[in-house]
Amino acid sequence: MSAVTVISGAPRVGDRREVLDQTTEVRLKRLQAEAKGRDAQGIVALAITAFPKRAALVSSFGSESAVLLHMAAEIDPNTPVLFLNTGKLFGETLRYRDRLQELLGLGDLRAVAPHPADRAQFDPEGTLWSKDPDACCAFRKVVPLRRMLEGFDASITGRKRFQTQARAEMQAVEFFEGRFRFNPLAGWAQEQLDDYLAAHNLPRHPLVDDGYPSIGCMPCTRRIKDGESYRDGRWAGLEKDECGIHVGIDGEGI
């Protein structure tokens, strides 16, 4: 099995802001126009070919992650895949990551963790999630991913419009924090995801059948109850349905 590259030196908490200039705006509109005539795998191919060696797929190795990973692996199995190991994940997620890496032949899987100094400063007892989940997500997810993406001009995500209200209007191609962001599955419904997994005989995350349709960090994820929606098990009881890594240009919602 291919090795997982572990990056332990994520940045300290801090951020930079960039604006969308005219040249970038023109390119964004062109990529959006090209994406309109493509299916999901075609949008993945657009990202990989438009930004050779400079596009990375961001994956949580969650409930439907195998769909996007399979599409990318069929185009180029050496497409960089970025995985956030927050230190709070389910063991099932880590084992699922390893299984998919071997099954799909993912040749460039990179894992990043929070900076040790940030852990010592912001969460020495490992319980920040219970006091300030936004702050926990910020240093465990947002900051490490920004550092990991610095060498890339484009990212590819598995976000779908049906998942949250904040994602309902997103486009297949966006511009976010200095790079282009492709959302090939934006318009997909749960039924399409299920059909793709079945058609390609792809394994599901082991927690899906145990009542976890959306899977994040262990302390902030629970089984959904009868009648609840897809992400009601994430940050249950809080006015929060995003960790912050995929929100707007200024990071609102973190």
Helix axes 40-50, 65-75, angle to 10 degrees: 50
> Is 136 among the catalytic positions?
no
Residue keyed to tokens 């949008």: 43
The token duo for 131 is: 């006091």
User: Tokens standing for 92?
Assistant: 């099932």
Among the listed residues 136, 137, 220, 243, the single catalytic one is 243
For the chain, the distance separating the N- and C-terminal CA atoms, rounded to the nearest angstrom, is 35
How many angstroms separate the CA atoms of 56 and 153, rounded?
8
Q: Give the active site residues.
A: 243
